[in-house]
């Protein structure tokens, strides 16, 4: 997660003090509790973070699974056919299209690229995972690979249809633009009014992000359906 690269934080607390929170110092509890606290514990004034040296390109390899892997810890990760522990890996990415169609994407930095894909144009990144098993992206395009189509959420706007995609300016194919369109729709109630006119029941959009420690990944993958408390 992004906050895991933070080494220390300068924080303005609710009593007006400015403290430096870091692992092992007197404010280590504040450091540990600060991520995802949304300003309830104070405001971050400055961060000291780790940086990762990069290369110009990322070489991607997509490996399909037809069944859920039994475990995910690095020491027992079930490598698919064609991927070995000797395979260079700087990034790991998993995508599930269904319980029977899963993909592990292994990414590695590269100084050269025999070709370069561009998913800010007509092509769509998430659909490419099902295609050729190898791909090359610039480091910038790799870091933003999901943003052009907001993962796959650009579909309701029609942006994944070839004609609309050709007319939709490339500079507006970004998650922040889609968010503004969603906010406008909610403010004006356009979708709700259309559903009511079509005599459809009211709907509520829910996005759920779950962070699971890699050591428990095997446990979470054994059930095909989520269990709700």
List the chain domain ranges. Answer: 2-49, 57-143, 155-197
**DSSP strand pairing (43-49 vs 57-65):** unpaired
pLDDT over 90, % of the chain: 59
Residue 111 in tokens: 């100084």
In this prediction, residue 223 carries a pLDDT of: 47
- What's the pLDDT tens digit per position in 93-119? 889 898 889 898 999 999 999 999 999
**Higher pLDDT pick, 227 / 124:** 124
Distance CA 74, CA 146 (A): 25
**Higher pLDDT pick, 120 / 78:** 120
In this prediction, residue 87 carries a pLDDT of: 57
**For residues 182-210, average pLDDT:** 86
- What's the pLDDT tens digit per position in 119-141? 999 999 999 999 889 999 999 99
Per-chain mean pLDDT for the chain: 85
């Amino acid at each position: 997660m992004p906050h895991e690269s933070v080494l220390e934080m300068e924080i303005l607390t609710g009593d007006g003090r400015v403290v430096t929170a870091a692992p092992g110092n007197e404010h280590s509890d504040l450091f540990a509790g600060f991520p995802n606290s949304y300003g309830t514990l104070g405001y971050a004034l400055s961060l000291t973070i780790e940086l990762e040296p990069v290369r110009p390109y990322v070489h991607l390899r997509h490996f399909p699974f037809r069944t859920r892997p039994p475990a995910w810890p690095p020491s027992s990760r079930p490598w698919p056919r064609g991927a070995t522990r000797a395979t260079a890996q700087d990034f790991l990415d998993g995508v599930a299209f269904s319980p029977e169609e899963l993909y592990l994407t292994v990414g590695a930095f590269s100084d050269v690229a025999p070709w370069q894909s561009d998913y800010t144009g007509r092509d769509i990144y998430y659909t490419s995972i099902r295609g050729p098993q190898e791909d090359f992206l610039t480091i910038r395009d790799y870091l933003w690979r999901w943003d052009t189509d907001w993962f796959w959420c650009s579909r309701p706007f029609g942006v994944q249809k070839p004609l609309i995609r050709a007319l939709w300016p490339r500079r507006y194919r970004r998650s922040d633009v889609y968010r503004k369109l969603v906010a406008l729709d909610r403010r004006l109630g356009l979708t709700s009014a259309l559903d009511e006119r079509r005599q459809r029941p009211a709907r509520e959009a829910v996005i759920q992000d779950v962070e699971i420690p890699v050591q428990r990944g095997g446990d979470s993958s054994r059930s095909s359906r989520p269990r709700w408390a």
